[in-house]
Every structure is written in structure tokens, then in C-alpha cells.
Structure 1
Amino acid sequence: MQNEKRVVLITGASSGMGYASAKYFHDHGWVVYAGARRTQRMQDLYELGIHVHQLDVTNNESNQNFVEAAIKEQGRVDVLINNAGYGEYGPLEEVNLENAKYQFDVNLFAAGELSKLVLPLMRKQQFGRMINVTSVGENVYMPLGGWYHATKAALGIWSDVLDMEIRQFGLRSIVIQPGATQSEWGDIAMQKAEKNLKADSPYRKLVLAIKKLLFSFQASATSDDLAKIFYKAATDSNPSRRYYHSLTDRIAVRIARNHPSLWRFGMWKMMRRMDR
């Protein structure tokens, strides 16, 4: 990687991990292109000298404009961070399938399209990294999060396949799996869950229990903590396939993946406690 001019594109940069990462990379001398739908929330990033762009990752023209601006102005792209995402929570029986499809558009297909736009240039450079933000929810799961977990599991597998395909060109596709993080994510996910409930829903009691469970978790990680993980994945000379913030996150993933019965037992036990 060239040291004099490194360029990173970050989606979902108006809040949380994306916002913190834009600042962190900028502070470390990178040229940063920060994209999000709500550009008014990135005014202070703009004032720092970060390239702020209105970006709807579900819109082909918007994605093209974002990538082409960086290529035209800088001539290279070293790292693409596919961070944009959200949780479409709700009972699988009741979530509108159009909402579920939109969840896949944001959390999975956007990463695919943006990666296609930068890969030809990265191949020419013989350097480049796709950093794809999934979640411990790629493996760890709970009721109401079915569509969200499905998108994150799909993104993880997609990233692994891409990594196998592009390593021959000196490129990498890497996954970050954050755990509970201090952010707006939980509030938004539960707002979606309540909105997706039908008026006479038999799942209303379950939604209340999951809401209590989500907000009972003590999120130790901050967005700034995750920004450092993103930076490590971007700059490690021999990057890992997966990055976690904590040993707890890593253990939770391992239990859910290798001991599914144990994970389900623990989840039901926590849910019953919330139902009291």
C-alpha cells in the first residue's frame, strides 16, 4: 500500500461506526470519502476536509457517483468499507416481504454493487481491500431478527467467496463482526419490530420480551473502538479473515456456530427471565 496517498470509501458514515471511522481514518492521514443518505449529519466531517457525499446504497446511480467521484479526484481507491446497514426486526410471519427484500438490498446487494465498481481499479493497482461489516449476528441469532441475521450470514459467506476469488490479484475481502455497540441500532431495530406487528398480533408479548432482552445487554464497545478495528483490518500487512472487538464476541460466535443447542437453550433461558 502506498503511504503518501491512501483513499478509503465508507458507506453509512452519518452515525455510529461509519462516522467514527471516517474521522479516525482522516486523523491518520487518509483521504476519506464518507457516504450516507443524511448528509446534514456529516457537516462536521465536511469541515474537517472529509469528502462528504449523499449516498443511497440501494440506488445504482448514487453508488456510481460516489465511486466515480473518488476515482476521478484521487485516481485510486485503497479500501472500501461496506458499513451501511440496519435491522429489519419483527416476527417472520408478519414482516412484509418488501421490507425483507429491502433489508437484503441495503445489507448485502449494496456491498456487491459497490465492490463491482471498485474491483477493476483495485486489480489494476494490485492492491485493495473490501471491509464488510456483518455482526456477531452473522452467527448469533434471536427471535424477531430473522431477516437481519439472514442478510448478515449471507454477507459473511459472500465476503469469504469474494476473498477466495480476488486474492490472486493481491486483493482481500475481510469481515468485521461487531457485537453489542453503543449506538442507535437497538432503538431502530425495535421500532421496526413494533411497526411490523399486526394489530392483533400473537407475537406482541414476544416483542416486549426481546425488547427487554436487547436493552439488558451492557454494550461495552463504542463506535470509536470499532473504528480502530476497521483501521486495523485496512492496514494489517497480513489481515485476518474475521475481526472481532472482544474475546466475548468471539466466544459467542463460536458457541452459536459449533454448539447450536447450547446457544438456543441459553437464549430461551434469557427470554423466560425477561418474560417475568
Structure 2
Amino acid sequence: MRKTIFITGCSSGIGRITAKHFQQKGWNVAATVRSNPEQDTELNSLDNVQVIALDVTKEDTIQSAVQQAVERFGKIDVLLNNAGYGSYGILEATPEQAMRMQFDVNVIGTLLVTKNIIPIMRKQQEGIIINISSMGGKITLPLGTLYHGSKFAVEGLSEALSFELEPIGIKVKLIEPGMINTNFEDTVMKNLNIDPSQTEYAPFLEKVMIAIQQAGSGASEAIVVAEKIYEAATDNKKQMRYIAGADAEEIIAARKQLDDDSYLSLIKQNWGL
């Protein structure tokens, strides 16, 4: 019997590549997008793929999407909480709305989707919940106050949740990607919160922006993450964390070996601060 994966954030990037990867492996895929699922001709053309509207900030759409997936496929074996984005910038220049949206999507959205999938897995007495974190959930970089805060939260909620779900047959796992070739620099610039009138930050911002422009050189392709997700979904291990990307392997390993002062000094040196 085919297994079924329910994925959030399939409009682009990691979510989309993962949906296609699991479909090619013979899985049923409930691929959710924020709006207009009928317009996704690529995913809709694939066998055993159901494209469903879901906004992780709106619980009624989550409930509807879960119901549709179960009606189509009968069960959900794996949940992939992938939907998310990064908001970067100077905290003083960041509007409250941007702060709330970062956590509503990356943290509250993950919790809401998980909450609505658990009853299905509880009745099945099995299931795997895979949350997309980041190496940014283990280390921090300049301008990432909101993004890193949200991913550190995903790390903590996943680990804590595992205690209550393991006794009822549900595993919780984390994927920690490094830099992925999905236009990181453009994304940072699009969501960058700065105020030109706050001139005191100008020297810092100039140095950071130069470093960001150079940051994508070691990025992995999204398929690297999709393959790691597939491994987590199928390896039958109790392993919780899976690192995706050579840069993430290196950086997370280095962070484990350094105390706080040494790590912060290293980042400042590498970023020219």
C-alpha cells in the first residue's frame, strides 16, 4: 500500500522539489499551496499528487486541507512542515507586523498544522512529523534576529513535542539545511527591514551586505534537502536531527566545538565586523 506524505509550502523551493521527489518514489503526495491550487499545472499533472489550498496562518484552511487529504488517500504517514520564510534586518527598524508574521508562519503555523495532523496519526498509532529547521536553528548570523529566533523555536518545540508523541507511536524529526540555491540574497533583500534615517547602523550594514552577496557561493541544491527528508521518512531510526548540506555540516560541527565568545568572534571576523 502506498504511503502518504502531507507537505506544506509546495509553491516553490524545497517543498516543491520534495513533493516531486516523493511522487517519483511511489508515494501519495498531498502538496499544499497557499492559494490557487488549480493553477499548478505541473503538480496537478502528476499521478497520486493532490494539490490543496492551505495557509498555515489560518486554521480553517489547515483543517480543510487535512480532511481533503484523508478523503483522497485514507491516511497520512508523514507530515512535512516546510512552509516558512526569512525576515531579516535591524530590529529597531522592524515593524511589529513583520515580527508577528515571522513567528506566525515559521512557529505558530508549524504548531497549528501539527496539531491538526496528530489526531490522524494517533488513531493510526504511527506516523512521522518532520519539521524543516535550518542550520540557522543552531547558529546565528547578523540581521537574523527574527529568522533565527523562529528557527531556534522550531528546534525547541520539536524536541519537547517528541516526549509526548513517542509513547503513542509518532516520531518527530528535524531537518537542518544549510544555504540552499533558492535565491537567498534576493529573499533577504526583499524582506530586509532597515531605516535609512538610522544612520548609526550604516557602517555595520555596509559590511553585512557585502558578506551576504558572497554567502551563496557554497549553496546546495534543493534536491539535497529533499533526499535528506526522504531518508528521515524511511530509515526507521530514532534519530531526531538530519543535517542537509556540506556547509551546514561544517558550521554546526564548528559551533559545537566553540564557546559563545569564540563563535561570535569567528562570525565577526568572517563577516568583516
- The match for 2:218 is 219
Tell me, in whole angstroms, the C-alpha distance in 2 between the residues paired with 1:147 and 1:207: 17
- Cα shift readout 1:67-110 (whole Å, capped 9, x = no counterpart): 11111222211011000111110111111122111110100111
- Greater CA deviation, 108-117 or 30-39? 30-39
- Whether the 8 Å contact between 1:123 and 1:171 is mirrored in structure 2 is yes
Q: Structure 1: where are the runs of 5+ without partners?
A: none
Q: Counterparts of 1:166 and 1:255 in 2: how far apart (Å)?
A: 31
Match of 1:179 in 2: 178
| Ranges in structure 2 where 5+ consecutive residues have no aligned partner | none
Q: In the alignment, what sits opposite 1:264?
A: 264
Q: Distance in 1 between matches of 2:185 and 2:53?
A: 24
- 1:117-128 aligned at under 5 Å gives the runs 117-128=116-127
Q: What secondary structure sits across from 2:140 in the alignment?
A: coil
Aligned residue for 2:45? 47
> Normalised by the size of structure 2, how large is the TM-score?
0.92
Q: Residue deviations 1:230-269, cap 9 Å, x none?
A: 1111111114110012454133124335522222112111
Q: Contact 1:108–1:155 at 8 Å: present in 2 too?
A: yes
Instruction: Give distance in 1, aligned partners of 2:244 and 2:58.
Output: 31
Residue type of the partner of 1:182? N
Moved more, 153-162 or 260-269: 260-269
Q: Match of 1:71?
A: 70
- Which deviates more, 223-232 or 240-249? 240-249
Count of aligned pairs between the two proteins: 268
- The answer on 1:59 being equivalent to 2:58 is yes
1:105 aligns with 2:100: no
Counterpart position of 1:150: 149
Greater displacement, 242-251 / 65-74: 242-251
Does structure 2 retain, via aligned residues, the 8 Å contact 1:12–1:35? yes
Q: Determine if contact 2:4/2:29 at 8 Å carries over to the other structure.
A: yes
1:30 corresponds to which residue? Answer: 27
Measured after TM superposition, the shift of residue 38 of structure 1 is 5.0
Deviation at 1:153, TM superposition (A): 0.2
> 1:155 and 1:234 mapped to 2: Cα distance?
18
Secondary structure of 1:150's match? helix
% identical aligned pairs: 31
Whether contact under 8 Å (2:91, 2:145) holds in the other structure is yes
Contact 2:179 2:247 in 1 (8 A): no
Q: Aligned partners of 2:257 and 2:114: how far apart in 1?
A: 31
- What letter matches 1:209 in structure 2? K
Q: Is the 8 A contact 1:39 1:52 kept in 2?
A: no
Q: Distance in 1 between matches of 2:76 and 2:144?
A: 34
Q: Which amino acid aligns with 1:271?
A: W
Contact 2:4 2:78 in 1 (8 A): yes
State the Cα deviation string for residues 209-233 of structure 1 (Å, max 9, x = none): 3232123132341011111011111
Instruction: Select which of 7, 13, 16 maps to 2:4.
Output: 7
Match of 2:271, SS state, is helix
- SS of residue in 2 equivalent to 1:255: helix
Could you say what secondary structure the match of 2:129 adopts?
strand
RMSD: 1.7
Per the normalisation by structure 1, the TM-score is: 0.91
Q: How does 1:72-87 map to 2 (within 5 A)?
A: 72-87=71-86
